Amino acid sequence: ALFTHIWILWRLGHYQVPQVPPSDVLQDFFVHFSSEHDLVAVDAAGLLLVDASIVTVLSKFRFVGLGVADHPAVVVEDEMLRFIQTLIARFGFLCWCPNLRDTPYSLYNSACHIIAINTFKQALLADTYRHLVPNLCYACLYDHFIHHLQLKRFLKEQKSPGSVSQSEGWGKSYKNQLRLARAREKFAKAQRLPQHYIKILGNVKATSDDE
């Protein structure tokens, strides 16, 4: 449930890799915040630094995992959406976007952490993720999901654009190509074809999407 909540906050689709926040967003943030005390004070005061209605979050999300049956779509009710938008707006963000180029406990990422955990708690109270059997104890996995799993995906994509969706096999066409390539390789070995032919036939890139 926590991971689903983060996907919704981050507005990520299954083929998307996290991005870093724009430099102007970071500059504006540090104009208003210089210490953790400032974060706590603003969160407690409830004042908005931007109009909550222009804050963007996903209102619907469906998790699709490789080899895993699809879960029912999570639909975030309007009242919960407004709560999320309001909390994000308190920190002056137009969207929720941790900075993966910074440390997990930097001031900016601490603000993202406050937003994620507080909105997750509220979502549990509102039964937003009831069919996912949520457990607040798993909130401790936040840093692992953001600053380990997603950071690895981010760095991999930076090094080789397009490699994440390919390696994770989320695309149906890619999985079909992979299955076809393995079948061709098996056939080539059975026919005792030369090794360089086997290598070509077993290459996923040598197959087309419509085969």
Note the pLDDT tens digit of each residue in 167-177.
665 555 556 67
**Do residues 56 and 10 lie in contact, with contact meaning Cβ atoms separated by under 8 Å?**
no
Residue 116 counted as domain residue: yes
Q: Are 59 and 33 members of one domain?
A: yes
Residue 156 C-beta-side C-alpha neighbours within 13 Å: 15
Residues 61 and 141 in one domain: yes
Residues 81-102 have pLDDT tens digits of 899 999 999 999 999 999 999 9
| pLDDT computed for residue 47 by the predictor | 85
pLDDT value of residue 64:
47
Residues 9-52: tens digit of each pLDDT: 888 876 678 888 989 999 999 999 999 999 988 878 888 999 99
Q: Is 165 inside any structural domain?
A: no
166, part of any domain: no
Q: Do 79 and 107 belong to one domain?
A: yes
Short-list 74, 47, 44, CA closest to 62:
74
pLDDT of the residue at 29: 95
Are both 95 and 176 inside the same structural domain?
A: no
Give percent of the chain above pLDDT 70: 71
Residue 145 sits in the same domain as residue 185 = no
- Tell me the C-alpha distance between 137 and 100, whole Å: 24
Residue-wise pLDDT tens digits, 59-83: 665 554 444 444 455 667 788 889 9
Structural domains in the chain (count): 2
Evaluate whether residue 138 is within a structural domain.
yes
Last residue of a domain, one of 140, 160, 180: 160
200 or 208, which is more confident: 200
pLDDT the model gives residue 78: 81
Query: What is the span of the domain harbouring residue 197?
Result: 171-206
Residues 108 and 196 in one domain: no
Q: Clarify whether residues 137 and 178 are in a common domain.
A: no
pLDDT recorded at residue 210: 47
In this structure, is the dihedral angle defined by the CA atoms of residues 111, 117, 121 and 126, taken in order, positive or negative? positive
Instruction: State the Cα–Cα distance between residues 150 and 105, nearest whole angstrom.
Output: 16
DSSP class of residue 59 equals S
Kindly report, residue by residue over 119-168, the tens digit of the pLDDT.
Answer: 988 888 777 776 666 565 655 677 676 767 777 877 888 788 776 766 66
Does 122 share its domain with 156? yes
Report the run of H or E that residue 10 belongs to, with start and end: helix 2-10
